[in-house]
């Protein structure tokens, strides 16, 4: 078990007294006198240190009988960066819970995906987070309910079931217990423009992040590689279609100075939690940019890049299988050619969607749809066609799993065993689809060229040796190196 920050009382007290937003999501402060829990950056006057106690999760606070602060709204903190940095049981379980697996499949389903017994998962989460999977999922349901209450005109019964509650009574009891307000009181307190006049099925919300965040590489990469019909850049927003558990949806994401504006249109409101989780993952919003940049800045040749534009994120994906297919389509071709290949697949095999705003026409084809495609109809070299069809077959039969619960090292080994898969393809999938923050691309020509320009070693072996000091954040170093190239996005050797 790893010891969380919440056990370092002195450090936690310092963070609370300085109202340091960098620690929001790392731990929660529970005040013994008021029975309220807050985020470290809560703007109210800090309590006396002897009246503070610290918990690793909102769920643990709730289980101990504390209510969420109405001022700082700790339930809206960015997620802990631990769950995207680590690949152990706890981190994998937290990624699955964020993706709504407990609500859809229960604790047995969560445990089965992880390859452990339900008792083992429960014990590990209790030890590290102070709450089991049911309590963690309940806390997430409460936050989903609050978003629906405050941003939509949905009837409360619909909110209850959309948020994942089994009954209206459980919904009412949980909201009162967590927020010390009834659902109707929460809606009354919300700014009226957030509820009135909402388009049916459309929600507008804010996605918080830890500063700094440099949106240039993040949104620039997504815009430059956007597949027509599935994605687009319009009026300062990145828009795309989403394949979700209950229905499809669309999202528009607009960068702001202290949040990402998120406008979701959902075919089924039960998909809200999953949609938010996947958008946060796409934009790497739960990262700890201060820790990343401090580590990379320690290399004197990399430091000027970090100082020039701190807070770079790794652009990821909302659909791991989609990204893996697109990585293969882009082997040894330009970005424009990769987009053309992907657009052909989308037009021929993607499910059509209705976008009232125009521009988005299809979902990216599912693995099942791609598995049924006649390989001879694919307009690409024979060897790459074989690589693609083998990948799709392995994804379809489950022998290659790219889900948020997968073991990064095992999945990378399985990818490298496929024909046509070299280190570049496996590592770019590890970086963008699996979310491994330490994935590295020493054979990428853009990375090597930038390294040489900076005076860093440019051969793969020597660059890998130098990059050992950048661990566990080598995927972020790639973003800084790519940013030095006027054409940083090229799909090069397999």
**How would you class 180 by CB atoms within 10 Å of its CB: exposed for 0-12, middle for 13-18, buried for 19 or more?**
middle
Of the residues 12, 38, 72, 279, only one is catalytic, namely 38
Check: CB of residue 13 under 8 Å from CB of residue 49. yes
Torsion, Cα of 461, 465, 466, 472 (10° steps): 120
> Is the CB of residue 370 less than 8 Å from the CB of residue 349?
yes
CA–CA dist 313, 479 (Å, integer) = 7
Copy the structure tokens of residue 52. Answer: 């503070």
Q: How many residues does the chain have?
A: 494
Strand order from edge to edge, sheet including 28-31: 52-55, 28-31, 36-38, 67-68
Look up tokens 């300062």; give the residue.
Answer: 236
H-type alpha helices, 270-334? 272-283, 289-297, 303-308, 320-329
| Nearest alpha carbon to residue 434 among 458, 453, 455, 410 | 410
H/E element holding 237? strand 237-243
**Angle formed by the axes of helices 133-151 and 272-283, to 10°?**
100
Whether 38 sits among the annotated catalytic residues: the reply is: yes
Whether 284 is catalytic is no
Task: With beta carbons less than 8 A apart as the criterion, state whether 24 and 77 touch.
Answer: yes
**Rounded Cα distance, 247 and 266, in Å:** 7
Let me know: does 338 contact 491? Beta carbons within 8 Å: yes
- For the beta carbon of residue 446, count every other beta carbon within 10 angstroms: 19
**In this structure, are residues 52 and 35 in contact, taking their beta carbons and an 8 Å threshold?**
no
**Spatial distance between the Cα atoms of 361 and 240, rounded to a whole number of angstroms:** 10
Pick left, alpha or beta for residue 326 (phi over 0 → left; psi -120 to 50 → alpha; otherwise beta).
Answer: alpha
Tokens of 336: 């424009």
Q: What are the catalytic residues? A: 38, 444
């Amino acid at each position: 078990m790893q010891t969380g920050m919440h056990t370092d009382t002195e450090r936690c007290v310092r963070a609370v007294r300085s109202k340091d937003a960098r620690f929001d999501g790392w731990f929660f402060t529970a005040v013994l006198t008021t029975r309220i829990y807050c985020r470290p950056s809560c703007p109210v006057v800090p309590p006396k240190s002897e009246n503070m106690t610290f918990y690793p999760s909102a769920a643990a606070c709730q289980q101990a009988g504390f209510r969420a602060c109405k001022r700082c709204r700790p339930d809206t903190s960015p997620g802990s960066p631990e769950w995207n940095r680590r690949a152990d049981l706890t981190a994998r379980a937290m990624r699955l819970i964020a993706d709504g697996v407990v609500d859809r499949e229960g604790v047995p389903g969560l445990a089965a995906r992880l390859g452990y017994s339900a008792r083992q998962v429960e014990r590990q989460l209790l030890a590290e987070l102070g709450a089991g999977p049911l309590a963690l999922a309940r806390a997430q349901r409460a936050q989903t309910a609050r978003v629906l209450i405050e941003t939509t005109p949905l009837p409360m019964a619909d909110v209850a079931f959309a948020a994942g509650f089994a009954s209206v009574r459980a919904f009412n009891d949980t909201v009162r217990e967590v927020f010390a307000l009834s659902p109707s009181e929460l809606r009354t307190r919300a700014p009226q423009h957030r509820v009135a006049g909402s388009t049916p099925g459309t929600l507008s919300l804010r996605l918080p992040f830890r500063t700094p965040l440099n949106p240039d590489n993040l949104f620039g990469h997504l815009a430059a590689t956007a597949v027509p019909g599935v994605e687009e850049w319009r009026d300062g927003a990145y828009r795309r279609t989403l394949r979700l558990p209950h229905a499809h949806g669309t999202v528009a994401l607009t960068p702001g100075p202290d949040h990402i504006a998120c406008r979701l249109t959902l075919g089924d409101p039960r998909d809200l939690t999953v949609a938010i989780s996947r958008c946060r993952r796409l934009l790497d919003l739960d990262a700890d940019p201060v820790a990343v940049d401090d580590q990379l800045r320690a290399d004197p040749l990399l430091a000027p890049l970090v100082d020039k534009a701190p807070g770079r994120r790794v652009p990821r994906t909302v659909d791991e299988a989609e990204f893996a297919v697109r990585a293969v389509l882009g082997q040894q071709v330009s970005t424009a050619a990769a987009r053309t290949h992907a657009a052909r697949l989308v037009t021929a095999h993607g499910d059509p969607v209705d976008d009232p705003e125009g521009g988005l026409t299809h979902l990216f084809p599912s693995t099942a749809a791609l598995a049924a495609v006649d390989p001879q109809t694919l307009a690409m070299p024979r060897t790459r066609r074989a690589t693609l069809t083998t990948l799709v077959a392995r994804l379809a039969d489950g022998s290659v799993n790219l889900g948020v619960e997968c073991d990064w090292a095992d999945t990378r080994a399985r990818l490298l065993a496929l024909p046509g898969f070299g280190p570049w393809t496996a590592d770019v999938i590890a970086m963008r689809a699996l979310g491994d923050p330490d994935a590295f691309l020493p054979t990428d020509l853009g990375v090597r060229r930038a390294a040489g320009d900076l005076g860093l070693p440019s051969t793969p072996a020597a660059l890998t040796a130098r990059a050992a000091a950048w661990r566990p954040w080598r995927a972020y170093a790639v973003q800084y190196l790519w940013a030095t190239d006027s054409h940083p996005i090229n799909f090069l050797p397999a």
